[in-house]
Amino acid sequence: MPSQPQTVLQVALPVPLPRLFDYLPPAGHQASEQDVGRRLRVPFGQRELVGIVEGCAPAQVEATGLREALGWLEPEPLLHGELRASARWLARYTHAPVGEVLATALPATLRRGEPLPDTHEWAWQLTEAGASALAGMRQGRPRRLAELLHGTIRDETALDTLLDGWRAAARSRAERGLAERIALPASQLAPDPQPGPTPNPEQAEAIETIHASAAGFVPLLLDGVTGSGKTEVYLHAIADCLARGRQALVLVPEIGLTPQLLGRFRARLGVPVHASHSGLADSERARVWAAAWRGEARVIVGTRSAVFTPLPEAGLIVIDEEHDGSYKQQDGFRYHARDFALVRAKALGVPIVLGSATPSLETLHNARSGRYVHMRLRQRAGSGRPPPVRVLDIRKRPLEAGLSAELLASVDRALAAGGQVLVFRNRRGYAPVLMCHDCGWSAACPRCSSPEQSRAMTVHAHGRRLQCHHCGHRRPAPLACPDCGGLGLQPQGIGTERLEELLLARYPDHPVLRIDRGSTRRRDALEKLFAELGERAGVLVGTQMLAKGHDLAGLTLVTVVGIDEGLFSADFRASEKLAQLLIQVAGRAGRAERAGEVVLQTHHPDHPLLETLIHGGYHAFADTELAQREAAGFPPFAHLAMLRAESRHAEPPMAFLHAARRALAAWQDQAGAGPAGPAVEINGPMPAPMARRAGQYRAQLLLSAPQRAPLHAALRALVPELHALPEARKVRWSLDVDPIDLY
C-alpha cells in the first residue's frame, strides 16, 4: 500500500548534535513553508523537547517510521525574518549546532515551552473613593502611596523607585476598593523627557555623523576619552531614532547596567526603557523580549544576551564599552555579542555605534583601515578634567600591606581635603597564598593542581578560609602546617580584604568600603554601598568592578596597586586588557568639578607598556601593540579558532585533539595546500595553560589562518568529523571561534 503523500518537518532541537530532526506534523495538521520558525513540542527518546521548525520537505518512502510532533505552541512563527536569518548565520559562523543557537536566541521561558508572555505594563490609580479618602488618612506608607497616585496613573516600575514597600500598601488599598491595578500597553507610559546639556562641538559632530548614517548599515566607532560625553551622544542618537519611529537596542557590559544609567536613559528619552540583564527573573526577560517582538518596546538596554532581541522596526544599535570582555559568551555556545550585533545591524540595514575610551584592537584596526567611521571625542565634557598620572617607583621601599608610604600620604591628603579615594587592586580575598614559613609548604587546590602544576588557594576571611578562584573549592585554613606541623603559616601577598583591614585601621574616622565579587554578590549591593558612602570623604577598595559602571562625582584620587603580575602574562591579549583596565580605572577620577589625580605604584616604572600608556595614551599603546600583533601573526592580523577538550583523566583530551589534528591534516592534504604552505596552521595539541581545573584535565588545539575563509572552510570540514570521532565520547569538547584568550 503506497504511503500517504505527506510533508516532513525538519526541526532544530536544543541538543549538541549538528543536525536537524525529521518529524511528521502533529496529528490532523498539514505542514507548509509558513510553519518555518514556529515552536512545537516533539518526542525525543524518552523525553519531550521544544523545537523550532527549520524547514519542510516532501516525505520520502522511508518517512513512514518517523514520529509525529506532539503539537504547536502558537499559531505563528516566533523566530522569523532577520533574527532567524542572523541566528542561522551565527550557527554557521560558530560551527555550533543550529538547534542550540536558535534556543539561545529565545528567552529561557520560551525555550521551555511557555507561551509568549503578555506585555501589558501594570499600573495603579486611585478609585474615586480612594481619592476622597486621602484627606482623612494618617501619615504613613498608605498615605504616601495615595499621594503618589493622586491625579496620576503610575506604573509599577515607577512605584518601585518611588516608594519602598508600596506593594503591600497597594494591595490593602485595593482590597478596600480605594485603589486599582490597571493594564496599559507599554508604549503608553511616557514620562516627559528632560533636556540634557548642550552638546559641545565634538559631540555635535558625532551626533550629526550618526544622524547622516540613518539610512542604512554604517558601523561607527565613537572613540572618546573617559568622561567625554559618549553617553550623551548615544542619547541624542537614540532620540533621533525614536523620532524616525524606529526601535533602538543598546548593549552594555554586565556591570555597566546600573540603576544610575537606566535612570539617565529613562529621564531623557520620554519613552519606557526596557532593561534586560541576568539579575532579572526569566519571566521578566521574556516580557522584554516579547515587547520588542511586538514592536512595543522602543528602547531596549541589555547585557550580552539582549543581542538576541527581536527588532521588527530597528533603527539603531549601540554597543557601549565595546572592548568589554563580558560580551563574549565563554561557555556552551561561544558567541561575541558585539560581533553578532554588527552582523545584525548589517542585516537590518541600520547604523551601529561602538563606543569606548579604550577600543579593542580589532575595532581600532577596522576604524583605521576605513571599514568603520571613526569619530573622536578628545576632551572631557562639562567640567571634568583628565587626571594627571603619577608613577611611584616602589623598588626597595618599605611597604605596609603592599602600600608605600608615599601612596598612603596621598590618601591622607585627599581625605583631609574632603575627597573620596579609590584603591584599586585586582585581586580579591585576603592574600593570594598561604605559606608555611618553616618548611615552604603552600596551600594548593586539590581539584586544580596536578603533579606538574600547582594552583594556590586564595586566603579569605582574614586567614580563616581558603578558596580556589578557579573552581570555587573552599575549606577552612589549617591551623598548623600539614607538612611539618609547624605553626608558621602566613598569608603571602595582598588582596582587597587585607587592604581593607589596613585602611580601616588607619582611617577609623572615615568610611572604608570594599567592592569586589565577595562583597557585592547581590545586584543591588553595589548601589547600597555607594549610597552608604554618599558624598562623605572615604575610601573604596576594590577590584575591576570599580573600573566602570557607577559614576562617582566625589572621587578625587585613584590609586593603583599590584598590577605588576599583569605586566608579564603570556596571553596575547593580556597587555591589551591591562592597558584598558588602567585607563578605565584612572578615568574614574575627576569626573566632576573636583580635580582628580591618579597614583600608580609599581616595581617596573620603566616597563614599556606603562611608559607608552602614561606618556602617549591609549592610542600610542595601541599602535605599538598592533605592530607586535602583526609581527607575531595574532588577531586582528590572523584569525583563530580554539578546540578545547577536558576529561577526568589526563589522556583522553590529548587523544581527542591528536585525532582532530590528524583529521584536519588529512583534509588539508586532500584539499591541496597553496604554494605558501598550508592555509591553516595547527598548533598543538598541548595541555591548557591551566592544565587541570575542578578535577578536569584540559588540553587545547589552536588553529590560525591569515584569512577567515580558509579557516572556516577547514572548520566546516572538521566539525562533523569531530562529532563522529570515537575519541570524542571520552571527553567534553568545545570549539571557540575568535577566542578572546587562549586559556
Give the binding site for ligand ADP (CB under 6 A): 197-200, 203, 224, 226-232, 381-382
Number of CB atoms found within 10 A of residue 278's CB: 12
CA atoms of 11 and 97, how far apart (whole Å): 12
In terms of residues, how long is the chain? 743
Number of CB atoms found within 10 A of residue 124's CB: 24
Measured from the CB of residue 184, what is the shortest distance to ligand ADP in angstroms?
Answer: 31
Q: Does 482 bind Zn ion (CB under 5 A)?
A: no
Measured from the CB of residue 360, what is the shortest distance to ligand ADP in angstroms?
Answer: 17
Q: Which residue, 355 or 402, has its beta carbon nearer to ligand ADP? A: 355
Q: Is 199 helix (H, G, I), strand (E, B) or coil?
A: coil
Among 239, 297, 431, 436, binds Zn ion (CB under 5 A): 436
Q: Which residue, 71 or 197, has its beta carbon nearer to ligand ADP? A: 197
Build a one-symbol-per-residue string for 459-478: x at contacts with Zn ion by CB under 5 A, - elsewhere.
---------x-xx-x-----
CA atoms of 179 and 175, how far apart (whole Å): 8
Q: Does 507 bind Zn ion (CB under 5 A)?
A: no
Binding partner of residue 445 among ligand ADP, Zn ion, none, CB cut-off 5 to 8 Å per kind = Zn ion
**Alpha-carbon dihedral sign for residues 393, 398, 403, 408:** negative
**Alpha-carbon dihedral sign for residues 727, 729, 730, 734:** positive
Binding partner of residue 484 among ligand ADP, Zn ion, none, CB cut-off 5 to 8 Å per kind = Zn ion
Binding partner of residue 556 among ligand ADP, Zn ion, none, CB cut-off 5 to 8 Å per kind = none
C-alpha cell at 264: 539617565
- Residues ≥6 apart with Cβ < 8 Å to 740: 325, 328, 336, 573
Q: Which residue, 76 or 593, has its beta carbon nearer to ligand ADP? A: 593
Binding partner of residue 579 among Zn ion, ligand ADP, none, CB cut-off 5 to 8 Å per kind = none
Q: Which residue is nearest to ligand ADP (CB)?
A: 382
Q: Nearest-CA neighbor of 362 among 342, 345, 378?
A: 342
Query: Would you say 63 and 320 are in contact if contact means Cβ atoms under 8 Å apart?
Result: no
Q: Nearest-CA neighbor of 210 among 41, 104, 354, 81?
A: 354
Measured from the CB of residue 204, what is the shortest distance to ligand ADP in angstroms?
Answer: 9
The three-state (H, E, C) secondary structure of 123-164, written as one string:
EEEECHHHHHHHHHCCCCHHHHHHHHHCCCCEEHHHHHHHCC
Helices marked H in 587-703: 608-632, 651-671
Question: Burial level of 332, CB count in 10 A (0-12/13-18/19+)?
Answer: exposed
Binding partner of residue 382 among ligand ADP, Zn ion, none, CB cut-off 5 to 8 Å per kind = ligand ADP
Q: Which residue, 231 or 734, has its beta carbon nearer to ligand ADP? A: 231
Binding partner of residue 483 among Zn ion, ligand ADP, none, CB cut-off 5 to 8 Å per kind = Zn ion
Measured from the CB of residue 444, what is the shortest distance to Zn ion in angstroms?
Answer: 9
Binding partner of residue 470 among Zn ion, ligand ADP, none, CB cut-off 5 to 8 Å per kind = Zn ion
Query: Would you say 289 and 324 are in contact if contact means Cβ atoms under 8 Å apart?
Result: no
Binding partner of residue 482 among Zn ion, ligand ADP, none, CB cut-off 5 to 8 Å per kind = none
Q: Which residue, 195 or 675, has its beta carbon nearer to ligand ADP? A: 195
- Residues ≥6 apart with Cβ < 8 Å to 670: none
Angle between the 81-94 and 337-348 helix axes, to the nearest 10 degrees?
Answer: 140
Among 486, 534, 616, 720, binds Zn ion (CB under 5 A): 486
Q: In the block, which residue shows the cell 537590518? A: 348
Q: Which residue, 230 or 246, has its beta carbon nearer to ligand ADP? A: 230
Measured from the CB of residue 500, what is the shortest distance to Zn ion in angstroms?
Answer: 24
Binding partner of residue 232 among Zn ion, ligand ADP, none, CB cut-off 5 to 8 Å per kind = ligand ADP
Measured from the CB of residue 305, what is the shortest distance to ligand ADP in angstroms?
Answer: 23
Binding partner of residue 224 among Zn ion, ligand ADP, none, CB cut-off 5 to 8 Å per kind = ligand ADP
Contact stretch for Zn ion (CB under 5 A) within 419-427, 443-451, 459-467, 616-624:
443-451
Q: Does 445 bind Zn ion (CB under 5 A)?
A: yes
Query: Would you say 219 and 373 are in contact if contact means Cβ atoms under 8 Å apart?
Result: yes
Q: Which residue, 295 or 382, has its beta carbon nearer to ligand ADP? A: 382
Q: Which residue, 286 or 445, has its beta carbon nearer to Zn ion? A: 445
Q: Which residue, 358 or 519, has its beta carbon nearer to ligand ADP? A: 358
Q: Which residue, 203 or 544, has its beta carbon nearer to ligand ADP? A: 203
> 246-273 in b/e burial notation, b at 16+ Cβ within 10 A?
bbbbbbbbbbbbbbebbebbbbbbbbbb
Q: Which residue, 157 or 231, has its beta carbon nearer to ligand ADP? A: 231
Angle between the 361-368 and 608-632 helix axes, to the nearest 10 degrees?
Answer: 70
Q: Does 481 bind Zn ion (CB under 5 A)?
A: yes
**Alpha-carbon dihedral sign for residues 715, 721, 725, 729:** positive
Q: Does 434 bind Zn ion (CB under 5 A)?
A: no
C-alpha cell at 418: 574632603
Binding partner of residue 104 among Zn ion, ligand ADP, none, CB cut-off 5 to 8 Å per kind = none
Q: Which residue, 228 or 668, has its beta carbon nearer to ligand ADP? A: 228
Greatest Cα pair distance, the chain, in angstroms, is: 95
Among 168, 439, 627, 665, binds Zn ion (CB under 5 A): 439
Measured from the CB of residue 741, what is the shortest distance to Zn ion in angstroms?
Answer: 18
CA atoms of 202 and 195, how far apart (whole Å): 19
Contact stretch for Zn ion (CB under 5 A) within 38-46, 435-443, 517-525, 673-681:
435-443
Q: Which residue, 252 or 499, has its beta carbon nearer to ligand ADP? A: 252
Contacting positions for Zn ion (CB under 5 A): 436, 438-439, 441, 445, 447-448, 468, 470-471, 473, 481, 483-484, 486
